[in-house]
Amino acid sequence: MMSDSITIKFWGVRGSVACPGPNTVRYGGNTSCVEVLCGENRLIFDAGSGLRGLGEALLGQSGESDLFFSHLHIDHLIGLPFFLPAFEKGNRLRLWAAGLKEVGGLRAALDRYMSFPLFPIGLDQFQAEIGFHDFARGDVLTPRPGIVLRTAALDHPGGATGYRLEFAGRSFCYMTDTAMDAGVAPAMLALAKGADCLVMDATYTDSELAKYAGWGHASWQQNAAFADAAGVKTLCLFHHAPEHDDDTLDRIAAEASRVRPGTVVVREGQSIGL
């Protein structure tokens, strides 16, 4: 791998709940998890059920990873206790999240999840070196030398965080779980401005939005308009609704390609290089 390359791999592309089955084979049924390799540096965005597969792929490879949560709704968190590298001595895992001050921070929030009666073991069972990093939305993070992450608040119940990763002159944006019914927030637009790749919440279609008002998600059509306004190069539609089967996503892919050529409806296991 080139030292200044960025490779994006999708380990989970669904929202709300995992939905494996015969009707989701081609696009996948695991929830949000995106691995981004910046040279040899591994950054992970969200810990949905897709994180389990990533962990299996990394098993036995000592190393370090930074995991950034958009928020801690269960579909973005459920894979963490099944991430096998966290149970291997010699590994290092740094966890990052914003908006958790009211519950005592990230460590306290994860302790609540991995405790009785919700889960049989606690964080103390992890054997890797674990770091917990709380920040405020809008902060600029520098998790590794040469890597900058800019952040912004998203429009989602309880709040969520959008990220812009900048490395070696390239930029990758991860903005999932956000509504755009009230218009586009300037901070969101600034975060995505001119990005080489934008992975964005496209849970619904325009015709479905009214049914799910207040749920904190967007349509693929809103994504396309946002990407145009921000001057994004490649738009990746993400966080697919569990009720959208493979055939539905095929239809969305065809229409999205017509509306905004080059748009990708992402599939589990797919990789994109920048």
What's the predicted TM-score (pTM) here?
A: 0.97
Token digits of residue 122? 């606690």
Tens digit of each residue's pLDDT (9 = 90 or more) over 204-238: 999 999 999 999 999 999 999 999 999 999 999 99
Strand partners for 31: 14
Q: CA–CA separation, 274 vs 90, rounded Å? A: 30
Please tell me the predicted confidence (pLDDT) of residue 62: 79
CA 183 to chain centre: 22
Q: Which helix (H) or strand (E) holds 186?
A: helix 186-192
Please tell me the predicted confidence (pLDDT) of residue 2: 57
Task: Please say if the pLDDT value at position 184 is more than 80.
Answer: no
- The domain spans of the chain are 6-273
Task: Please say if the pLDDT value at position 197 is more than 60.
Answer: yes
The share of the chain scoring above pLDDT 70, in percent, equals: 99
Task: Please say if the pLDDT value at position 150 is more than 60.
Answer: yes
Tens digit of each residue's pLDDT (9 = 90 or more) over 1-47: 458 899 999 999 999 999 999 999 999 999 999 999 999 999 999 99
Q: How confident is the prediction for the chain on average, in pLDDT?
A: 96
Task: Please say if the pLDDT value at position 196 is more than 70.
Answer: yes
Read off the pLDDT of each residue in 96-111 and give the average, rounded to a whole number.
97
CATH code at 6-273: 3.60.15.10
3-state secondary structure of 21: coil
CA 248 to chain centre: 22
Read off the pLDDT of each residue in 136-162 and give the average, rounded to a whole number.
97
% helix, strand, coil for the chain, step of 5: 25, 30, 45
Q: CA–CA separation, 160 vs 177, rounded Å? A: 7
Q: CA–CA separation, 266 vs 274, rounded Å? A: 15
Q: Quickly state the pLDDT bin for 178 (edges 50, 70, 90).
A: very high
Q: CA–CA separation, 86 vs 252, rounded Å? A: 37
